[in-house]
A and B are shown apart, each in its own frame.
Chain A
Amino acid sequence: MFQKKIGIYSLTLAMAAMGVTGCSSDGSGSSFENAASSLTEAAAQPDGQTDSESLSAASEKKNEVIAVVNSEPSAGWNPVTGYGQRYDPILQSTLTKAYGGEITNDLATGYEISEDGKEWTFTIRDDAYYSNGEKVTASDVAFTYEAVRDNSTSLDLSNIASAEAPDDTTVIFHLNEPDYTFLYVTYKVGIVPEKGYDENYGENPVGSGPFKMVQWEKGQQCVWEYNEYYYGNEPEIKRIVLLFMDDDSAFLAAQKGDVDIIFTNQNLAVQQIDGYHMENVETIDNYGIIFPTTLDEGKTSEDGRAIGNDVTGDPAVRKALSVGLDRDALINDVFNGYGKKSFSMCDTMPWFNEETALNESNSGKDVAVKILEEAGWTDHDGDGIRDKDGVDAQFTLLYTSSNANRQAMAMAVAEQAKELGITVTPEGASNDDITKRVYSTPYVFGRGDYTPNEFYLMTSTNTIGSGWSNTGYYSNPTVDDYMKKAMASKKIEDVYKYYKLAQWDGETGASLIGDAPDCWLVRADHCYFVRDGLNIGDQPVQPHCANGQVILSNICDWKWE
């Protein structure tokens, strides 16, 4: 009996101990212990200084920044396997940049498109060198794009038939299909040197960006220093220490004053830290609900996943939720006010159709109820839930259970939907489990980038069933036609024009006042605690980025004041 007692109490103690050391359930960050050790190691500088004074001493020199982000790229700092596709890779340079959606030259000095739209000729600058002193040549660019096409799973470059470099500063891309929106992939690919590239590149990246990597301890920290061969303006910040921690550890590190800038979540953002201020950056990091748009006809996909949902397969239900959910309340309740209303994948971008933004006359509970009643969704059997043809207006809403924002979003949507007479049942699951059910069950999702391709991926008939793109089996020939025209447009203004029409042409479209294949609700601000005196420049609207590294995109403009 005594032993049993011991057993029970030690179990209780073990629980308590788990509580203290804190295993992060989402698995994204390091534990407190890890964080602590990475901090001490951050203090251990290459020249052997180990005391914490060296930290503040380094900061006093005003050319070093210690930044905390959530995680490192799992496959290393290699653009070929996906690094830097969502934010400026810094270690490598790209042909163009797209801060805020406007494309500007970086490595490229200009481009020409052939008459048929299938041949893109880029000229690149002559004065670009890698951090090892080697020259950046056009054949490196051709090599990189072909390697990304063949290796990357997150960026689809299958339209590139081949890339060639007739001389050192000219690179020609031959496309399979004409695509005038090809420009929007050129900011996503960091250039790697053809000579010396191998599968271990991600561990020892050599690039032509403003910084080079000098040290990387996996899971703990990464040290970058200024690349003196960089062709652009010399930044004031010469050294960056990136620490990898989860939100809680990062917050504690900032409270101790050990770091200069941390990425944090909207729950911690309402706190105050002495010596730091909050910078919340506007984003196109859209949060919303992705709907199955077809009815359940018993079909399954090739890999056996059920397709369709009898409730959200009705556009009236999707539209009613899109216009009826109170976005202001969601911003306050879920994101503590750190967010903006979201109406599509395209908000704030030059190709956003302003007509699809909701205003007081076409949104709200009354409008939603009217849409539902007109479509025949009324409470026939008096159980408080609307129904139509014997089907109750109820569905399960999946969310990633490790993500507190998405959970709160699902719960808040369920509460609001109740008032519309629709029963929404939130259900937490891992992303793997959600993937198995995406074709038949609505889910909470976050997405957004500087390219109209995002809108294409979510709404084109061609992208049905590819990864997280168009999981709703949405298909509208008119929308497809507009997007085809956009890709065949020779002027960027026409690309914008046709993408606007694809959203809403007055009669139909893939926006929330059209078919509403998805319901975007909030653009969540990215929140950072920044040490007073650190100027992080003008931050453009940021794309969806889970780990916060996107803040470094304009590192060359940062300075200590």
Chain B
Amino acid sequence: MKNMRKHGILNRRTLTLIIIALSVIIILAVTAAGFIMDEELYAPHFAEKNLPPSGHHLFGTDWMGRDMFARTVKGLSVSIYIGLLASCATSVIALFLGVIAGTFGKYASGIFNWFVDIFMGIPHLILLILISLLLGKGAKGVAIGVIVTHWCSLGRIVQAEVLALKDSQFVKASEKLGKTKLWIAFHHIMPHVVPQFIVGLILMFPHAIMHESSITFLGFGLPAEQPAIGIILSEAMKHLTTGMWWLAVMPGISLLIIVVLFEAIGSHLRMLLDPYSAQE
């Protein structure tokens, strides 16, 4: 009780919940704003090109007179959308493969480890670029690229968790009762893995978003007319020489904030879900 007093009126758990809620609200707001945004807001207005940040244009305008604030919000929402989609899909793969590898003995885990080694052995970015190029770039290429490459580390975590669970009493008992491995996997092991999985999933969002922006920045991702954050940053590069700092700095910071927010959600959620820290 004494410890809690030190934090003032809010106890740690409430504070954690508030941080999570705030982060979720901000992210949802950005995403929603991007989706319902009128295209006119970030259309070119050549009469107002190259303006520094002001009250009228919060993030300034670019060389075609497009409002950078609107473009950034739209770009972030596109990135978040692709990131969410790709993270969810890749997590499902990780969960599925991890559980199978853990449950079905030596051969399954041998093959699983072999695949993980292959994917982890090649740098993510290079693999992503290759896959994206093969699939004709665009949102589809990026999303599938992220899905195919990002399941490895989460898959490993799930597998380790499963291996630990396999030796537990209730699993052994279940085996003795004659349940099939599949039944055990879905009824005993999955529920125990879920908390780890959810945290892993959320911590994967920033990865996916950053990778989406990176390969778009390098020109292998989304097309140039799309207001994606990678496009915005790579266009800004061409104008740094002339001192138009706001083109790179404002969207860059915005991207960083979104990534940090996801990170905050993930780590605070872990505090709540993890039995060791949940009661602190």
Is B210's CB within 8 Å of the partner chain A?
Answer: yes
A533 within 8 A of B: no
In the complex, whether B159 has a CB less than 8 A from a CB of chain A is no
Give the residues from 5 to 54 in chain B that come closer than 8 angstroms, CB to CB, to chain A: 43-44, 46, 49
Instruction: Check A428–B63 contact: CB distance below 8 A.
Output: no
Q: How far is the CB of B51 from chain A (nearest CB, A)?
A: 14
Which of these, B217, B219, B242, contacts A15 with CB under 8 Å? B217
The reply to whether B267 and A1 form a contact with Cβ atoms under 8 Å apart is yes
Interface magnitude class on chain A: 35 or more
- The interface stretch among B68-76, B113-121, B139-147, B230-238 is B230-238
A252 to B243, alpha carbons, bound, how many Å? Answer: 12
A and B contact pairs by CB, cutoff 8 A, 29 listed: A1-B203, A1-B270, A5-B267, A8-B207, A8-B210, A8-B263, A12-B256, A15-B210, A15-B217, A19-B233, A19-B236, A19-B252, A248-B237, A251-B242, A267-B238, A329-B46, A333-B49, A333-B65, A401-B219, A401-B223, A404-B238, A407-B64, A411-B225, A412-B64, A415-B43, A415-B44, A426-B225, A427-B223, A429-B223
Encode contact with A along B238-280: 1 for CB under 8 Å, 0 otherwise.
1111100000100010011001000100010010000000000
Chain B count of residues within 8 A CB distance of the other chain: 38
Contact B207 A411 (CB under 8 A): no
Measured between alpha carbons, how far is A411 from B39 in the docked complex, in Å?
13
A372-427 CB contacts (< 8 Å) to partner B: 401-402, 404, 407-408, 411-412, 415, 426-427
Residue of A with least CB distance to B222: A428
Interface string of A500-535 (1 = CB under 8 A from B): 000000000000000000000000000000000000
Binding site for A on B (CB under 8 A): 43-44, 46, 49, 63-65, 203, 206-207, 210-211, 213-214, 217-219, 223-225, 233-242, 248, 252, 255-256, 259, 263, 267, 270
**Does chain B have a CB within 8 A of A57?**
no
User: In the complex, which of the residues B44, B218, B224, B263 contacts A428, with contact meaning CB atoms closer than 8 Å?
Assistant: B224
Bound complex: CA A16 to CA B203 (Å): 21
Which residue of the partner chain, among B217, B223, B240, contacts A18 with CB atoms under 8 Å? B217
Measured between C-beta atoms, what is the minimum distance from B208 to chain A in Å? 11
Complex contact B46–A412 (CB within 8 A): yes
Residues of B within 8 A of A492 (CB): none
Q: Is A248's CB under 8 angstroms from B240's CB? A: yes
CB contact under 8 A between A252 and B210, given known A19-B252, A23-B218, A333-B46? no
Question: Given the interface contacts A1-B267, A11-B210, does A411 sit within 8 Å of B64 by beta carbon?
Answer: yes
Which A residues fall within an 8 A CB radius of B?
A: 1, 4-5, 7-8, 11-12, 14-16, 18-19, 22-25, 247-248, 251-252, 267-268, 271, 329, 332-334, 401-402, 404, 407-408, 411-412, 415, 426-429
B212, chain A: closest CB distance, angstroms: 11
Cα distance A561–B100 in the bound complex, in angstroms: 80
Select from chain B the residue with minimum beta-carbon distance to A3. B153
Cβ contact within 8 Å between A248 and B223: no
A78 vs B43: C-alpha distance when bound (angstroms) = 45
* CA gap between A70 and B33 in the complex, in Å: 41
Q: Does B241 contact A248, Cβ atoms closer than 8 Å?
A: yes
Contacts A251-B241, A333-B46; A5 near B263 (Cβ below 8 A): yes
| B178–chain A nearest beta-carbon distance, Å | 39
C-alpha gap A415/B40 in the complex (Å)? 10
Closest 10 CB pairs of A and B: A428-B224, A333-B46, A401-B224, A248-B241, A25-B219, A11-B210, A411-B44, A428-B223, A251-B241, A8-B206
CA distance in complex: A304, B215 (Å)? 30
Please give, as numbers and ranges, the residues of chain A lying within 8 Å of B206 by CB-CB distance.
Answer: 8
Cα-based distance from A25 to B222 in the complex (angstroms): 13
Chain A binding surface SS class: helix
Which A residues are in CB contact (< 8 Å) with B239? 267
Q: Is the CB of B242 within 8 A of A19?
A: no
Nearest chain A residue, comparing its CB with the CB of B211 = A11
A19–B207 Cα distance when bound, in Å, is: 18
Q: Whole-angstrom distance between the alpha carbons of A427 and B224 in the complex?
A: 8
Q: A19-B252, A412-B46 are in contact. Are A12 and B210 (CB under 8 A)?
A: yes
When distances are taken between beta carbons in the complex, the residues of chain A under 8 Å from B259 are 8, 12
What residue in chain A is nearest B204 (Cβ atoms)?
A4
Q: In whole angstroms, what is the CA distance A333 to B64 when docked? A: 8
How many angstroms from the CA of A18 to the CA of B219 in the assembled complex? 13
Nearest Cβ in chain A — how far from B36, in angstroms?
Answer: 20
In angstroms, Cα B46 to Cα A334, docked, is: 8
Chain A residues with CB below 8 A from B242, complex form: 251, 267-268, 271
Contact A428–B207 (Cβ < 8 Å) = no
Q: CB within 8 A of A404: which of B63, B213, B252? A: B63
Chain B nearest CB from A27 CB (Å) reads 8
Q: How far, in Å, is B172 (CB) from chain A's closest CB?
A: 30
Distance, CA A296 to CA B65, complexed state (A): 36
Question: How long is the Cα–Cα vector from A513 to B206 in the complex, in angstroms?
Answer: 55
CB distance from B65 to the nearest CB of A (A): 8
Query: Measured between alpha carbons, how far is A251 from B234 in the docked complex, in Å?
Result: 18
Choice from B44, B218, B248 contacting A412 with Cβ under 8 Å: B44
Partner of B64, one of A25, A251, A268, A408: A408
Pairwise interchain contact B213-A25, C-beta atoms closer than 8 A: no
Q: Which residues of A contact B217 (CB under 8 A)?
A: 15, 18
Known contacts being A23-B218, A426-B225, is A332 close to B46, with CB within 8 Å? yes
In whole Å, how far is A394's beta carbon from the nearest beta carbon of chain B? 14
Residue of B43, B219, B241, B267 touching A402 (CB-CB under 8 A): B219
> Are B241 and A4 neighbours in the complex by a CB distance under 8 Å?
no
CB distance from B262 to the nearest CB of A (A): 9
For residue A23, which residue of chain B has the nearest CB? Answer: B218
Other 9 A-B pairs with CB < 8 A, given A8-B263, A412-B44: A11-B207, A15-B210, A248-B241, A267-B239, A333-B64, A404-B235, A411-B44, A412-B64, A427-B223
Give bound CA distance, A338 to B218, whole Å: 30
**Cα distance A411–B223 in the bound complex, in angstroms:** 14
Q: How far is the CA of A268 from the CA of B241 in the complex (A)?
A: 9
Q: How far is the CB of A327 from chain B (nearest CB, A)?
A: 14
User: A320 to nearest B CB, angstroms?
Assistant: 21
Chain B residues with CB under 8 Å of A401's CB are 219, 223-224
B210 close to A4 (CB less than 8 A):
no
B-side contacts of A247, CB under 8 Å: 238
Which A residues are in CB contact (< 8 Å) with B218? 18, 23, 25
Most central of B217, B223, B238, B267 by chain A CB within 10 Å: B238
Residues of B within 8 Å of A426, CB to CB, are: 225
Could you tell me the distance between the alpha carbons of A505 and B237 in the complex, rounded to whole angstroms? 49
Complex interface: chain A residues within 8 A of B224 (CB): 401, 407, 428
Report the Cα distance A16→B217, complex, angstroms. Answer: 11
Inter-chain CA distance A93–B143, complex, in Å, is 54
Q: How far is the CB of B67 from chain A (nearest CB, A)?
A: 14
A401 vs B219: C-alpha distance in the bound complex, in angstroms?
9
* Neighbouring A residues of B270 by C-beta, 8 Å: 1
Q: How far is the CA of A14 from the CA of B217 in the complex (A)?
A: 12
Q: Which residues of B contact A329 (CB under 8 A)?
A: 46
- The distance from the CB of B22 to the nearest CB of chain A, in whole angstroms, is 19
Q: CB distance A19 to B248 under 8 Å?
A: yes
Report A-chain residues with C-beta under 8 Å of the C-beta of B236.
Answer: 19
List the B residue with the shortest CB-CB distance to A270: B242
